[in-house]
Amino acid sequence: MATYLGFCVLVTMLKLAIAFANTPDTFNESACGEISVGFGTYQDICPEAEPIIFSWVEKAVAEDPRMAASLLRLHFHDCFVNGCDASVLLDDTQNFVGEKTAAPNLNSLRGFEVIDAIKSELESVCPQTISCADILATVARDSVVLSGGPAWEVQKGRRDSLSASKAAANNNIPSPNSTVATLVAKFENVGLALNDMVALSGAHSIGKARCPTFSARLQGTNQNGPDNNLDFVASLQQLCSGSDSNSALAHLDLVTPATFDNQYYINLLSGQGLLPSDQVLVGGGEQTREIVETYAEDPFVFFEDFKISMLKMGSLGVLTRSNGEIRKNCRTTN
């Protein structure tokens, strides 16, 4: 709870900074018990929700520091597939094949048990009130905060889908071997722009990736141009040459792997981006490279843009009012 209060202070400072800058105020009230933004509010219906979620994320990250990254990624893989509706959390049923076995997710997505634990406690405190989609959006923010990144007020009121789509997950979630043009197209497809793509890629400031996802960097088959950091590529080759090469993991940010900061962009400029889709932001065109340079120079600009793009991503295709439902268990429809 002490840390949650610290987080509250952080959010309040953020709001003061916004008020001081005279920016149009989309933050109506405080994040700490009086939330009222976006599509709805928990203030009157379940004020305990955010502290409960935060303390579960805090516990999970203390036990497994990588969990912050895994929870952040869950929200992204949810929002890119028919909107932020917790479809990613559904297990297969007789009526549909869920998204968990789609290529970008299989043996890759983590953190489902953390969401289960949060949902279970929320159901006992405020039955059928907090959607699984809102839980995903909130844990993503809390994970960033706990990793040293910026805080923002999460919009509330998403409802949960009644279905999931493996095909849409395969189609919509970008591949690590994408060109800039394909990355931009995948983001535009869901309503996000090139600058959102570059800012949100900064999520790769934390977390890990398996060798197969960056093998194009190792084999010199990276279609996005030659790698300019041969020592880095050699170290990856060594990591991925063992018998467990399919499961071996590399840090997405080799310098500050568990801290959410702008080091990811600094790495890109020295040819030390892990995924081809990271490194291509520098080698694949002027537009993305200029944004990378700005973020590498100024962490404050990166944090501000990241928050804005996370809010945009978190509002994609949301179900509200009588659409969807509030699931009792995030893995199944009611």
Give whichever of 156 and 208 is closer to ligand HEM, judged by the CB atom: 208
Closest CA to 294 of 279, 281, 309, 280: 281
Residue 209 touching ligand HEM (CB under 6 A): yes
Specify the amino acid at residue 59.
Answer: K
Alpha helices in the chain (DSSP H): 2-20, 49-63, 67-79, 112-125, 132-146, 166-172, 180-190, 194-201, 215-218, 230-239, 263-269, 276-283, 286-297, 299-314
Residue nearest to ligand HEM (CB): 207
183 makes contact with ligand HEM (CB under 6 A): yes
Contact in structure between 274 and 217 (CB atoms under 8 Å): yes
Q: Does 201 bind ligand HEM (CB under 6 A)?
A: yes
The only residue of 14, 49, 50, 73 in contact with ligand HEM, by rule CB under 6 A: 73
Q: How far is the CB of 1 from ligand HEM (least distance, A)?
A: 26
What's the gap between Cα 280 and its chain centre? 20
Among 13-21, 92-100, 168-176, 258-266, which window interacts with ligand HEM (CB under 6 A)?
A: 168-176
Alpha carbon distance 324, 85 (integer Å): 8
Judged by CB, which is closer to ligand HEM: 50, or 196? 196
Residue 84 found at the interface with ligand HEM (CB under 6 A):
no
Query: Does the protein bind ligand HEM through residue 180 (CB under 6 A)?
Result: no
Tell me, yes or no, if 77 is annotated catalytic: yes
Structure tokens given for 155:
């919009």
CB of 294: closest distance to ligand HEM in angstroms?
17
**Residue nearer to ligand HEM on the CB measure, 41 or 273:** 273
Rounded Cα–Cα distance for residues 239 and 218 (Å): 10
The residue assigned the tokens 């792997």 is 257
Binding mask 90-119 for ligand HEM (x = CB under 6 A): ------------------x-x---------
Torsion of CA 139, 141, 142, 146, to 10 degrees: 130
Cβ distance 72 to 140 under 8 Å? yes
Cα–Cα distance between 180 and 54 in angstroms, integer? 35
- In the block, residue with structure tokens 């700490």: 32
Pick between residue 11 and residue 258 the one whose CB is nearest to ligand HEM: 258
What are the phi and psi torsion angles at 250 (to 5°)? -120, 150
**Active-site residue, from 75, 77, 204, 251:** 77
Our CB check for ligand HEM shows the closer of 104 and 271 to be 104
How far apart are the C-alpha atoms of 254 and 269, rounded to whole Å? 13
241, two tokens: 């040459």
Establish if 76 lies at the interface with ligand HEM (CB under 6 A).
yes
- Which region among 6-14, 82-90, 170-178, 256-264 touches ligand HEM (by CB under 6 A)? 170-178
Binding-site string for ligand HEM from residue 255 to residue 294, where x marks contact by CB under 6 A and - marks none: --------------------x-x-----------------
Piece of 67-75, 296-304, 315-323, 325-333 that binds ligand HEM (CB under 6 A): 67-75
Provide the 10 A C-beta neighbour count for residue 241. 11
Using CB under 6 A as the binding rule, whether residue 69 contacts ligand HEM is answered as yes
Residues that bind ligand HEM (CB under 6 A): 66, 69-70, 72-73, 76, 108, 110, 174-176, 178, 183, 197, 200-201, 203-204, 206-210, 213, 252, 275, 277
Mind telling me the catalytic residues?
A: 77
